[in-house]
Amino acid sequence: MLTIGYRTDERIDEPGEVGAPGTVLDVFPVDAECPVRIEIDEGRIRSIRPFDPMTQRSHDEIDHLSLGSAAEPVPDRDGVPLLAHLPGATLLVEPDFAKRRQRTIDLIATMTARKRRLDPARFVDTAT
């Protein structure tokens, strides 16, 4: 998951975070409303449950999960994006692609605004 841009954290409460406390994998997909808890038993997924990031309480079980990338793919060694190698190719996307894309854009805008508000450098006068 780290190779697709997710970052590790102890408490999973923001999109793009992942943590593995014991036999559980907590992940907040970048294009989801809430994080999920994946319970693993003997190398197999036992359950996938959305959970509230504030209370850490899980909800009803879901039967599948789609994880969007939390970062742009790294261009190849020549700096060329992957799709540039496939001129004229047909690109297939999931039916809810536009909705998930907009959700990701909105989350990025929210996190960027939050970072600006909390950035201590904003309060330091750098003029001399």
Most distant CA pair in the chain: distance in Å? 61
Specify the pLDDT at position 124.
47
pLDDT tens, position by position, 73-108: 666 666 777 677 778 888 777 788 888 778 878 877
In this model, does residue 123 exceed pLDDT 50? Answer: no
Counts for the chain of helices (H) and strands (E), in that order: 1, 5
List, for residues 27-79, the tens digit of each pLDDT value: 998 878 889 999 988 888 899 999 998 888 888 899 888 887 777 666 666 67
Residue 126 has pLDDT above 60, yes or no: no
User: Could you give all domains of the chain from N- to C-terminal order, each with its CATH number?
Assistant: 2-73 (3.30.2060.10)
Point out which residues pair with 51 in neighbouring strands: 58
Contacts of 12 (CB under 8 A, 6+ apart): 18, 19, 26, 27, 28, 35, 53
More confident residue, 24 or 73: 24
